[in-house]
Amino acid sequence: MIELQGLEKRYGDSAAVHDLNLVFAEGELTALLGPSGCGKTTTLRMINRLIEPTGGRVMLRGQDTQTLKPETLRRGIGYVIQQIGLFPHLNVAQNVATVPDLLGRPARETERRVDELLDLVGLDPAEYRSKKPAELSGGQAQRVGVARALAADPPVLLMDEPFGALDPLARDKLQDAFRDIQRRLKKTVIMVTHDIDEALRLADRIALMNTGELAQFGTPDDLIHRPASSFVRQFLGEDAALRQLAGRRAADFARPGDSSGLPTVDAHLDARSALGIMLREGSDALAVTDAGQSIGILRWSDLQTSPVQPPLSSPGMK
Ligand SMILES: Nc1ncnc2c1ncn2[C@@H]1O[C@H](COP(=O)(O)OP(=O)(O)OP(=O)(O)O)[C@@H](O)[C@H]1O
């Protein structure tokens, strides 16, 4: 859907981004990950032409973005940044409605859409519609920023450290909410982050960059279990596999099967804690339940955690 072909940005003698070739698949969330100064933001901004490349091309659905007017291009691409810049004099509903209003959408339709979006990001419309940005917490303001970016219903969303300024608890909550939204709406999302846990938790694919070049492009599992270089291994850290589990839920791993007699865990429990329960109970499988109903079996082998040995003599082992 979006393809970077030999993309390059030079400042004088040095290249911020060098010969970058990447394909962002439709409906997937890709994290641009890497150490400070590796070229993540420059890459992101070349996609919506806030920065013009000095070489190579960005193709959007087969069309060279240089052939489009930047305004036309940006209309189809939502953009969320850390300091989201809500308009202070407008209330929450007016902030979310900015783009639909600009596009001349009917007021009734926009009003309904604003309420839907506030619901979607976990803000009760009745309570928050009329609040001014100054009356919101950082996390709430960030939610409004995400709702605003979604308001024009863009097929593509670019996000630059969108959850970076939040405290860990608010960040976790908003990440969870955003992951649900993305799965439901199937937007093509490209998210800049230097937070490995965030990338492991949210991304379908990770483009790990180092000094302006691509170090590895793959799924979180690829990077953890099949690192392309020592840089990738070191950047992710020794305990990446375990940290990845902390960001995923037992339900993500549950598969159909007869779970009778197995220790039970709740669907929302994080997978790392589930692993701990397996070790404690000496079982290589757990029954996963949601609101008291069994939704399947979580098996040790599905957790793919090479650093830990499976429990011996487990009742679930057949
Ligand atoms: N306008 C500019 N002029 C000169 N050099 C620049 C300019 N903008 C960025 N750079 C350089 O390009 C490189 C990549 O910058 P970029 O902002 O893309 O990195 P980043 O990976 O997003 O970093 P961070 O995580 O710290 O935000 C850096 O070395 C930076 O100093």
Which among 197, 146, 145 is positioned nearest to 168, based on CA atoms?
A: 197
Among 245, 269, 291, give the residue marking a domain's end: 245
Q: What is the pLDDT of residue 304?
A: 66
Distance of CA 190 to the CA centre of its chain: 8
Is 80 exceeded by the pLDDT of residue 94? yes
pLDDT digit string, tens, across residues 138-193? 888 888 988 888 887 888 999 998 887 777 777 887 888 888 888 888 899 999 99
- Residues with CB under 6 Å of ligand 1 are 11, 16, 34, 36-42, 194
The 10s digit of each residue's pLDDT in 3-52 is 999 999 999 999 999 999 999 999 999 999 999 999 999 999 999 999 99
For residue 313, what pLDDT is reported? 42
- The CATH number of residue 130's host domain is 3.40.50.300
- 259 and 237 within one domain: no
- Ligand 1 atom with least separation from CA of 32: 21
Give CA–CA dist 157/58, Å, rounded. Answer: 15
Number of domains in the chain: 2
The per-residue pLDDT for 246 is 78
Q: Are residues 165 and 282 in the same domain?
A: no
| DSSP character string of 202-243 | H-SEEEEEETTEEEEEE-HHHHHHS-SSHHHHHHH-TTHHHH
Output the average pLDDT for the chain: 88
Any idea how long the chain is?
Answer: 318
Do 42 and 138 lie in one domain? The reply is yes
Range of the domain at 268: 249-303
- Rounded to whole angstroms, the Cα distance separating 121 from 172 reads 13
Predicted TM-score of the model (pTM): 0.81
51-65, 89-103, 299-313: segment of lowest average pLDDT: 299-313
| Residue 257 maps to a domain | yes
Residue 318 is assigned to a structural domain of this protein: no
Residue 313 is assigned to a structural domain of this protein? no
Choosing from 17, 38, 191 the residue with most ligand 1 atoms within 8 A of its CB, the one to mutate for a pocket test is 38
Residue 311 has pLDDT above 60, yes or no: no
The CATH number covering residue 298 comes to 3.90.1280.20
Please tell me the distance between residue 211's alpha carbon and the centre of ligand 1 in angstroms.
10
Asked whether the beta carbons of 147 and 118 are under 8 A apart, the reply is yes
Closest residue by CA, ligand 1 atom 7: 11
Q: What is the distance in A from the centroid of ligand 1 to the CA of 35?
A: 11
> 310 in a domain, yes or no?
no
| Residue of 7, 10, 11, 196 to test ligand 1 pocket, by largest number of atoms within 8 Å of CB | 11
> Do residues 163 and 292 both lie within one domain?
no
Interface ipTM: 0.96
In the numeric block, the tokens 């309570």 are attached to: 127
What is the pLDDT at residue 43?
97
**Rounded average pLDDT over 82-88:** 78
Pocket residue to mutate for ligand 1, from 13, 18, 42, 210, most atoms within 8 A of Cβ: 42
For residue 262, pLDDT beyond 90: yes
Does residue 279 lie in a domain region? yes
- 271-295 pLDDT, tens digit each: 888 988 988 888 889 999 998 889 9
Same domain, 166 and 276: no
My answer on whether 157 and 14 are in the same domain is yes
Q: Do 259 and 237 belong together in one domain?
A: no
